[in-house]
Amino acid sequence: MKAMIFSAGKGERMRPLTLHTPKPLLVAGGKPLIVWHLERLAAAGIDEVVINTAWLGDQFAPALGDGARWGLRLHFIHEGDVPLETGGGILNALPILGEAPFLVINGDVWTDADVATLPRTPTGDAHLVLVDNPAQHPRGDFILHADGRVSDDGDSARLTYAGIGVYRPAIIDGWRAVIGETDGASATPPQFGLAPLLRHAMAQGRVTGQHHRGRWTDVGTPERLAQLDAQLQSPHG
């Protein structure tokens, strides 16, 4: 299985830290956030990882090399000065990701989730990792049903998407009909988010998920990065 780490965002909420360092290369617990992901992916048997870049993208290859130190083969895809967003990023990376299901991780989260527990072949178009709602996102994102389906409709309690999932390339099929004439959809290459495609697949019952009850942090502010760093540096981290 191959994986993709979203690393193209500008990290505007993390400024001034991200004025000179892209967010996935910010350090917590003695190593960059993205390195935590690379270690976990390698431990799970992943051997190839696509890293999409935009903001300060020229820093990634010098910092990470070719991936050999983790037993990985890294592919860097520079999207230009303007990120292609999550859906556009996947579409742009499909020539490398191939036709088999692949794993996707947001480069700006930290978690102890074991990606080896994820299905290599989801029953539908996607299988998502969901977590308890953090303080900064109390309403959550999606509903995880008892049968493992994930939906966006209903009054049941919601969980937060952890930024980790296994996707079939089919999640991108027909993206233009789903996205419509949104800003960036007609650009070359196109820019569009993944969330509308996920909700479209959910409406067809083609998204499943699992609840990770362990540690997870959306490193979205300098304060949360400092908190994570302190936790990882502590003797019980």
CA dihedral 7, 9, 12, 18 (to 10 degrees): 40
What one-character-per-residue DSSP string does 159-225 give? BEEEEEEEE-GGGGTTHHHHH-S-TTTTSSS----SHHHHHHHHHTT-EEEEE--S-EEE--SHHHH
Residues 227, 188: Cα–Cα separation, whole Å: 40
* pLDDT for the residue numbered 236: 65
Secondary structure of the chain: what % helix, strand, coil (to 5)?
Answer: 30, 25, 45
- pLDDT tens digit string along 87-130? 999 999 999 999 999 999 999 999 999 999 999 999 999 999 99
Could you tell me the two tokens for 183? 């800003």
Q: How far is CA 85 from the centre of its chain?
A: 11
The answer to whether 30 and 39 have CB atoms below 8 angstroms apart is: no
- The pairing of beta strand 102-106 with beta strand 2-7: parallel
Q: What is the amino acid identity at position 235?
A: P
CA distances from 137 to 8, 28, 199 (A): 22, 22, 19
Residues 223, 135: Cα–Cα separation, whole Å: 13
Residues 190, 150: Cα–Cα separation, whole Å: 27
Q: Is the dihedral of CA 122, 116, 165, 158 positive or negative?
A: positive
Beta-carbon contacts of residue 2 (< 8 Å; ≥ 6 apart): 46, 47, 48, 49, 50, 96, 97, 98, 100, 102, 103
* pLDDT for the residue numbered 237: 59
150: β partners: 144
Spell out the per-residue pLDDT of the chain, length 237, in tens: 999 999 998 878 888 888 899 999 999 999 999 999 999 999 999 999 999 999 899 999 999 999 999 999 999 999 998 899 999 999 999 999 999 999 999 999 999 999 999 999 999 999 999 999 999 999 999 999 999 999 998 888 999 999 999 999 999 998 999 998 888 888 889 999 999 999 999 999 999 999 999 999 999 899 999 999 999 987 765
> What are 139-144's contacts with CB under 8 Å, separation 24+?
142/202, 142/209, 144/209, 144/210, 144/211
